[in-house]
Amino acid sequence: MKKVIVGILVAAVWLAGVIGYAVVASGSNSSAHQFTVLTVKEDSVKDYNTMPVFQQLADETGIDVEWKYNTSAQYSNNTDPVGIKGIDAIYHSGFSNLKLYDYGRRGRIVAIDEYLDSMPNFSKILSERPDIKEALKSPDGHIYSLPRVEEMGLKAYPNILYINKAWVKKLIDEGNLPDGVNLSADDLKDGLDLSREEFKAILQKFNDLDMDDDGSTTNEVPLSFVSSNWQGNESDLIASFGVPENRDHKTIVDGKVIFTIEMENWFNAVRELADWYQRGLIRSASFTQQENDFLARGQDGRYGAFYWWEKDTVLSAEKRDDYIIVLPLKDNDGNRYVGVSNELEVEKGECVILDSCSDKAALLSYFDKFFEPEYSAQLNYGSIKSGAFLSEKVDGKLIPNDDHGVQSADDFRMKNAPYGVVYLTQEVWDTSVEMESRAKLRVGNLESYVKPYTYKGATTIPNLNYTQDELITLNTYESSLAKNIASWFTGCITGNIVPSTESWQNLLKTNRASIDTVLRINQAAYDRYIAAIGA
Ligand SMILES: [Ca+2]
């Protein structure tokens, strides 16, 4: 008996030792491999700390990250987020080129290129993609942030024109088509071919008649968009005048950086849109509303036509079939044009590591996993375990699950996907992750109805790598120039400024120094970029 008790005691002491050791081991482990990361997140998005994708990352890497949150409003109120105590990194930092460089050269954020030994995935990307490497460099040649790369070939073309087919059908049926417009019911399918003049005449009917038969002719919105928004803006309506327009009014044509506002056709477009506004075809709401207002107002099929990427988010389920895609509007010579946006598929300031981080290599080895297809997919769409993808792969590819019951695919994704640092390229779509069906639909629509009409020689301005002086100069000129253009543009269309040639010339004259300086710096940086990537 005594022996047994001694045995138990020995075992207990031994066990206590093991447990004690284990506690100490995991304790020291966690002090080395536990990090706190601040992320910018709205309350509607789920807690990252309980998301399965982050649990999977913790299991695989042995690195434990505790996520802390700022809403975007809180975050933007903080003028020095890098100074926040007790954090090792900032996710969704959104730092501009100038901010990255400023923090980087003062040693407050980490030069990530010095830790590539701990980052096999990121190293591979930099060696395979010189354009991405070039895009990420700061003026001193260092890389101070981790990027988001999502390549679908979509972002350069953020506007598709949709028209209310049911209303056009009603015009046909009731003999109310405008003079000179010849359409039959058979024409009313995706790819409707209209000149800008025909489109304008149809919008006039939408404005004048009671299209929805509710007894009022005042509640129809002939054409809607979200002015200067990144998608669904008025740029391609202006492009129809033969202008490579985008919301920055700045693009590259045949290797030359230009401002569209200097083109006579741009001024002609502004003058014509002022007329559309006077006639009630476009309304003041298009210049004041935000995305959410625009989407809410479109649900019941009140828009005669609108610009957006896809119609499903704009319309309630029962109204979607009422709308079809219109080809880019023909000008008087029968030509069609669309511009290319400067929305980039490589976004720079997604994540920065603070100098105060105690084990930079370990934290960067954790973030390096984000670039792997299976993690990138889950970060971008939601965790496999929460149902963002089907449980079985097909031909080695993750298959998105589009069915979330009563919840829309958009809603599900907004709540379940942290976004941020991802690497999703054509190779990934080909081999590892099936593109969402709505993304495939967008790609197909753009290929068929938009891209073939790109203004000749127009290309997106890539992520340019500026010198310190250039960054400071751009910072001085760019935002005031953008404000001046926007207020003149909106003022002319909405009737607060008379869109005379003199007024336009005066806009160019008063902003001449800014225009020339911005163009000169952009061109120099673009020329260096082309030389660096060997294009
Ligand atoms: Ca009505």
The one-letter code for the residue type at 145 is S
- Ligand 1 centroid to Cα of residue 159, in Å, is 26
Q: Does position 29 have pLDDT exceeding 60, yes or no?
A: no
Instruction: Identify the structural domains of the chain with CATH numbers, from first to last.
Output: 11-153+345-432 (3.40.190.10), 160-342+461-533 (3.40.190.10)
- Ligand 1 centroid to Cα of residue 424, in Å, is 45
Stretch 247-271: mean pLDDT = 98
- Ligand 1 centroid to Cα of residue 228, in Å, is 28
Tens digits of residue pLDDT in 261-287: 999 999 999 999 999 999 999 999 999
46, 415 Cβ separation under 8 angstroms: yes
- Ligand 1 centroid to Cα of residue 91, in Å, is 47
Question: Which pLDDT score, from 0 to 100, does residue 268 have?
Answer: 98
- Ligand 1 centroid to Cα of residue 283, in Å, is 16
Stretch 163-185: mean pLDDT = 97
First to last CA, the chain: 85
- Ligand 1 centroid to Cα of residue 484, in Å, is 37
- Ligand 1 centroid to Cα of residue 175, in Å, is 18
Using DSSP, state whether 110 is helix, strand or coil. coil
Q: What is the pTM of this model?
A: 0.85
Question: Which pLDDT score, from 0 to 100, does residue 408 have?
Answer: 80
Tens digits of residue pLDDT in 426-476: 999 999 999 998 889 999 999 999 999 999 999 999 989 899 999 999 999
Above pLDDT 90, what percent of the chain?
A: 88
Tens digits of residue pLDDT in 474-521: 999 999 999 999 999 999 999 999 999 999 999 999 999 999 999 999
Question: Which pLDDT score, from 0 to 100, does residue 535 have?
Answer: 65
Phi, psi of 72 (to 5 degrees): -60, -30
- Ligand 1 centroid to Cα of residue 221, in Å, is 9
Q: What does each C-alpha distance from 322 to 166, 190, 480 come to in angstroms?
A: 5, 11, 42
With residue 474 as reference, give the H or E element that holds it. helix 468-493
- Ligand 1 centroid to Cα of residue 87, in Å, is 56
- Ligand 1 centroid to Cα of residue 79, in Å, is 49
- Ligand 1 centroid to Cα of residue 480, in Å, is 41
Using DSSP, state whether 283 is helix, strand or coil. coil
CA atoms of 250 and 332, how far apart (whole Å): 25
